[in-house]
């Protein structure tokens, strides 16, 4: 704000002088050629020194703020590791032992410190309404400035990858879910449980597909099952997430069915489509009842 008001004063002085001079010395009928001059040492020194002084003064709060932002997070900060993948975000809470994807749960009123990494190419982590963007660089750990979501502003904040990272860059989104400390603790507790076992016949069929013909386990983890691959998002509590495909659509049964049928239609370029064997060989594809059972099983993973 300090710099904003300094800029407002400079703007008014410069534009005011410009408009005054344009009117005061405008060309009038009968004017001959104006007096021709070349150079004015005093004015040139003045208009070099004045901006230099203004910039030197503005540098003080700028640099101080930059140093503050890059300082160590406070002791009570919540630590999160965010890892960029083509094209989704992995979130790990080392102190809570939680791994999830595309939805960053944070308690309101508590400082949050996010470290940023990448598994493949350069991504950029951006929550426009909360904190400025910082790159996620392979083989290098960056840190987002520590942020706090105010106690009176719980809710959902949209996040977006802000660095062109391939086909589905524009659809590499995430959500920040800011909730009360109690809600956050409950969420952590739920996330620490293994994936809910199938409880209906339909869900059992979905589970069998997940670890069998569907080959979903080749890329995904569901804790408590033999599916332990880290290539794609952890699905242990997929049913508790609000969106799917990294924030592309709401996590409804209909959208999930569309996604399982042809993820590429919802998210062109997604690696799920090109990797899953079922999409290479149409005869191996999932039929409608198989999709229905997978939806029942995955939605049950609260
Ligand atoms: Cu990741 Cu753009």
Does pLDDT of 242 surpass 60? yes
Q: pTM above 0.75?
A: yes
Q: Classify domain 78-184 at the CATH class level.
A: mainly beta
**In this structure, what token pair is assigned to residue 206?**
């979905």
**In this structure, what token pair is assigned to residue 102?**
């595309």
Higher local confidence (pLDDT), 274 or 228: 228
Cβ(199)–Cβ(297) under 8 Å?
Answer: no
201-299 has the same fold as 78-184:
yes
pLDDT average, residue stretch 76-84: 96
Ligand 1 atom showing the smallest separation from residue 163 Cα: 2
Give the pLDDT of residue 288: 84
Q: How confident is the model at residue 216 (pLDDT cuts 50, 70, 90)?
A: confident
Pocket of ligand 1 (CB under 6 A): 84, 87, 123, 161, 163-165, 169, 172
Element (DSSP H or E) covering residue 123: strand 123-127
Does pLDDT of 118 surpass 60? yes
Does pLDDT of 191 surpass 60? yes
- Residue with the nearest Cα to atom 1 of ligand 1? 123
CA distance 132 to 142: 13
Q: Which overall architecture, per CATH, does domain 201-299 show? A: Sandwich (2.60)
Give the pLDDT of residue 287: 81
CA 14 to chain centre: 39
Domain ranges of the chain: 78-184, 201-299
Lowest mean pLDDT among 7-16, 241-250, 284-293: 284-293
């Amino acid at each position: 704000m300090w710099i904003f008001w300094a800029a407002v004063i400079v703007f008014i002085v410069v534009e005011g002088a410009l408009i005054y001079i344009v009117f005061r010395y405008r060309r009038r009928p009968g004017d001959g050629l104006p007096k021709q001059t070349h150079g004015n040492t005093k004015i040139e020194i003045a208009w070099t020194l004045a901006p230099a002084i203004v910039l030197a003064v503005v540098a003080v709060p700028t640099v101080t703020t930059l140093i503050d932002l890059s300082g160590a997070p406070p002791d009570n900060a919540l630590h999160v590791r965010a890892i960029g993948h083509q094209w989704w975000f992995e979130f790990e809470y080392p102190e809570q032992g939680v791994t999830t994807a595309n939805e960053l749960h944070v308690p309101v009123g508590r400082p949050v410190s996010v470290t940023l990494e990448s598994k493949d190419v350069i991504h950029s982590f951006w929550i426009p309404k909360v904190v400025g963007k910082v790159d996620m660089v392979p083989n290098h750990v960056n840190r987002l400035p520590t942020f706090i979501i105010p106690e009176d502003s719980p809710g959902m904040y949209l996040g977006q990858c802000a660095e062109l990272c391939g086909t589905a860059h524009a659809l590499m989104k995430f959500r920040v879910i800011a909730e009360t400390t109690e809600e956050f603790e409950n969420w952590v507790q739920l996330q620490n449980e293994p994936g809910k076992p199938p409880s209906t016949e339909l869900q059992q069929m979905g589970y069998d597909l997940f670890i069998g013909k569907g080959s979903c386990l080749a890329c995904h983890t569901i804790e408590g099952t033999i599916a332990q691959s880290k290539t794609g998002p952890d699905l242990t509590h997929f049913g508790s997430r609000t969106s799917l495909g990294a924030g592309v659509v709401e996590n409804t049964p209909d959208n999930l069915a569309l996604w399982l049928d042809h993820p590429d239609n919802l998210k062109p370029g997604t690696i799920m489509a090109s990797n899953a064997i079922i999409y290479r060989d149409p005869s191996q594809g999932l039929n409608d009842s198989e999709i229905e059972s997978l939806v029942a099983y995955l939605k049950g993973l609260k």
